Structure 1
Amino acid sequence: MTLRIGYVREHFSSPLLQFAEDDQEQTFSLVECPSGTGQLISRLTNDEIDVAIALTDPLISGIANGSKAYKLVGSYVSTPLNWAVIAGKESQYNNISDLKDTTIGISRIGSGSQTMAYVMALQQDWPSQGMKFRVNNDIRGLITSVNEGTSSAFMWEWFTTKPFLDAGEVRFIGSVPTPWPSWLIAAQPSVSSDSLKAFLSTLSTYVRSFDSPENRSGKNVEFVKAKFGYPENDIVDWQNTVGYPDDCLSISKEVISETLRVLENAGVVTAPEGGFDIGNFIKPDVVKLID
């Protein structure tokens, strides 16, 4: 079968895009989801994609909150994601502390931008109950919202948003790194395990190649520059912050348990009596849980 792979067209997707360019047998097709993980989860739920490469926290919180539409099947990025906290270019908000009791812009309900707003509230000791959100769909809608004043701020990955900062469209007023590795891979439970394992095994070779010291210093920079138009110094700075797994077919138990712990403390999920069963979060005939 030809797998439908949902992804966000960002610099993190570079190994996937390199794989796609070399996939002469067309074993998979790419389905771009510009609104981010909320859109990826929606498309998994609506059978519009088979696989999603998406942010760790919304994937895990979705399953914890009862979704049966997907299971975790692999790892993609092993380092935290640095979320910028972004305000309008002429807004009154200058620090994260100014945002208490305001309306935060998000892309979609259940997205990483919403989950991380709860984490920010946890760090600031704000009550998560009653937080106010405005859905703005994508990065352009979020920027418009903070500049019009319909939301106070929004959160988005630092380097993805930096071109808008450099252009003077927004201001950064802080950052909140994720307390977990930032990207996992999920799939519909009905998708062929053999197809998933073949895809993830080959993806692992592209991930390892992209993560190699020799490619970081040359090939990667030129690829990201050509695909996304980022300045070379931003690409180098980003690469200094990012790491990829050796094997996309494994997930650490601690990644799932620690993410659940933080999300529970932030009020995003509620543990059932007896706690969460980590085995319920994965497709066990595809991915290996490691200690």
Structure 2
Amino acid sequence: MVLRIGYVREHFSSPLLQLAEQDGGKTFELVECPSGTGQIISRLTNNEIDVAIALTDALITGIAKGSKAYKLVGSFVATPLNWAVITGKDTKYENIDDLKDTTIGISRNGSGSQVMAYVMALQKGWPTDDLKFQVNNDIHGLIDSVNDGSTSAFMWEWFTTKPWVDQGKAKFIGSVPTPWPSWLIVGSPERADPSAVKDILQRLTGFVREFDSEQKREKENVDFIKAKFGYPEEDIKAWLKTVKYPQDCLAIPKEVILDTLSYLEKAGVLSAPVGGFDVNDFIAQDIVKLT
């Protein structure tokens, strides 16, 4: 069975793309999800993909809220994601404080862009139960919404959004790094065969370690990202200084799950059940190990 792996085509996915080139479609095929993690979760729920790499916070939120469509099977990026706060090119908003009580653009309900809006509100001391959102599907819809005034701002990964800012189509007014490692891997309990997932993630670990090495960071990583995504060399080098990958894609530190849940509770995104959360409910125990 060829597994369908959902992913967002961004620079973070470079080791996965390198593995896919080597695999040649023998054991898995990539399914691009341009709208981000919200779209990935929807496709897992609708049996359109079997495995996915997506944002830690949104994945953990989905399971905590009762989703049975997926379980955590591995780790992908060990460092926080730097979320830019973006507004329109002719904006009246000068900083994050100006966004209080306005409508924030998000890609989908349950997406990382929505979760991080709650985190931003928590950091600013704003009430989280009356935040206003508008769904705009993808980066193009989000850019349009801040320029037509239907939303005040949106949040997206810094370097992915920077080309629009460089072209004068949007402006940065701040950033909010995640309080957790940014990307995890999930699989469908029903469709993702454990041995097949383990095999893919063991091979992915090799590519991740290579990509994460100092030697590859000097030139090969830069050349690969430039060829695949067309980013300016200086942006690629700046991003590479901020990112680290795990040494084992088949392991998740228990603290990643617990700390993320704790922060999401404080932000008002989640409410813990009586007795608290059990980390074992979040993982595919026959695939991944907690460390």
Which interval holds the TM-score relative to the shorter structure? Answer: over 0.9
Shift of 1:14: 0.3
| Superposed counterparts of 1:34-53, under 5 Å | 34-53=34-53
Report what 1:272 is aligned to. 273
Report what 2:23 is aligned to. 23
Query: Aligned Cα RMSD in Å?
Result: 0.6
Normalised by the length of structure 2, the TM-score is 0.99
Please state if 1:55 is matched with 2:55. Answer: yes
The one-letter amino acid paired with 1:200 is L
SS at match of 1:238: helix
Report what 1:33 is aligned to. 33
Distance in 1 (alpha carbons) for counterparts of 2:254 and 2:137: 32
Report what 2:124 is aligned to. 124
SS at match of 1:123: helix
Distance in 2 (alpha carbons) for counterparts of 1:142 and 1:265: 27
The one-letter amino acid paired with 1:161 is T
Distance in 1 (alpha carbons) for counterparts of 2:258 and 2:100: 28
Shift of 1:147: 0.3
The one-letter amino acid paired with 1:148 is D
SS at match of 1:247: coil
Distance in 2 (alpha carbons) for counterparts of 1:113 and 1:270: 20
Shift of 1:63: 0.4
Distance in 1 (alpha carbons) for counterparts of 2:281 and 2:60: 11
Shift of 1:25: 5.9
The one-letter amino acid paired with 2:245 is Y
Report what 2:83 is aligned to. 83
Please state if 1:250 is matched with 2:251. Answer: yes
Deviations 1:86-116 (A, max 9, x none): 0101121111000001000000000000000
Shift of 1:264: 0.2
Deviations 1:46-100 (A, max 9, x none): 0000001000000000000110110000000000000000010112111100000
Distance in 2 (alpha carbons) for counterparts of 1:231 and 1:239: 13
Report what 1:234 is aligned to. 235
Contact 2:2–2:25 under 8 Å retained in 1: no
Report what 2:74 is aligned to. 74
Distance in 2 (alpha carbons) for counterparts of 1:211 and 1:3: 25
Report what 1:263 is aligned to. 264
| Greater Cα shift, 95-104 or 16-25 | 16-25
Distance in 2 (alpha carbons) for counterparts of 1:240 and 1:101: 35
SS at match of 2:41: helix
Distance in 1 (alpha carbons) for counterparts of 2:248 and 2:143: 36
Report what 2:13 is aligned to. 13
Report what 1:188 is aligned to. 188
Distance in 2 (alpha carbons) for counterparts of 1:123 and 1:4: 37
Report what 1:104 is aligned to. 104
Unaligned runs of 5+ in 1: none
Shift of 1:24: 3.7
Unaligned runs of 5+ in 2: none
Normalised by the length of structure 1, the TM-score is 0.99
| Identical aligned residues as a percent | 69
Deviations 1:228-258 (A, max 9, x none): 0000000000000000000000000000000
Distance in 1 (alpha carbons) for counterparts of 2:249 and 2:62: 21
